[in-house]
Structure 1
Amino acid sequence: MKSMAWLVLLAVVSGAQAGEEESTPCDNVETDQQSFDCAAFNKQIAERELKSAYDDLIQRMRDQYGDEAGLESQIESAEKVWRQLRDADCKVETHTEQPGSKTFQSAWNSCIAQRSDERSEYLRSLDSQDRDEPAPED
């Protein structure tokens, strides 16, 4: 019985280590192509996290407020304006690169990833702000 428990423990530990050891295109970046691949990977991950943070916020607001005062519509509008600002900022940030080049695309992807990460953090913080505020007294 003891040996069976050790096998189960070993399998769990091995599975956890395998999850930690997954490689990404950002491991050991040494070439321009690897930098390009890493920037694309980071953009993809950041946009996925942004969508998740946005969807979570919409769901939290629906659960907490319903559609009180068109809150969902306000969030959608804010997100649309934010995306326009993000894209404009990234155009400024990448203005020295030749559009269509790998250098441009890497810089663009890195900018989008960075801004998306920042926005995800902000969207997630909205929930914590709501929970930290004391309930209004009647």
Structure 2
Amino acid sequence: MKSIILALALISTVAHATEDTEHNPCDAVENDVQTLACSAYGKAAAEQLLADNLQSLNERLQTLYADNKAQLNDITSKIRVAQQLWQKQRDADCAIAAFPAKPGSEAYKIAENDCMAQVSDDRSEFLESIGQE
């Protein structure tokens, strides 16, 4: 069940990424090299979406707290710290998800990329929800 959800999430991530580009390495995956390229593409797309949502959040907060710089500084500081902690947690969790594959192997990289894509998508949704009216 978990792998089905992960596969669906990766497909949605990749589908989102294909909106902006014509070449998608996830089209017609037939071998391990292509699987690795697809997983790297999905990770990159998810990380770009995360960066975009973090930027959008910062812009929303600038608007919401334009009249109260102390609150703006407080919330942006908390988000910065939370993001750093989340990145450490993501890295640790994805190392577990890639186990027992040998670090550096294709299987490890694929599992790690897929995990990072999934958790980055989850984080993107969370960041997108903050400060919505």
**So what's the TM-score if we normalise by structure 2?**
0.77
Task: Tell me the residue number matched to 1:52.
Answer: 52
Partner amino acid for 2:87?
R
One-letter code of the match for 1:107?
A
Query: Which runs of no fewer than 5 residues in structure 2 stay unpaired?
Result: 1-18
Q: CA deviation at 1:43?
A: 0.7
Q: TM (normalized to structure 1)?
A: 0.74
Determine which of 55, 67, 70 is the counterpart of 1:68.
70
CA distance in 2, matches of 1:58, 1:20: 23
Using the TM superposition, give the Cα deviation of residue 62 of structure 1 relative to its aligned residue in structure 2, in angstroms: 1.5
Larger radius of gyration: 1
1:112 equivalenced with 2:116 (yes/no): yes
Which of structure 1's runs of 4+ aligned residues deviate more than 6 A? none
Pairing of 1:20-59 with structure 2 (within 5 A)? 22-59=22-59
**Using the alignment, how far apart are the partners of 1:124 and 1:104 within structure 2?**
30
Counterpart code for 1:68:
A
Paired positions, count? 111
- What is the deviation of 1:21? 8.6
Q: Equivalent residue of 1:96, what SS?
A: coil
Offset of residue 22 of structure 1? 2.1
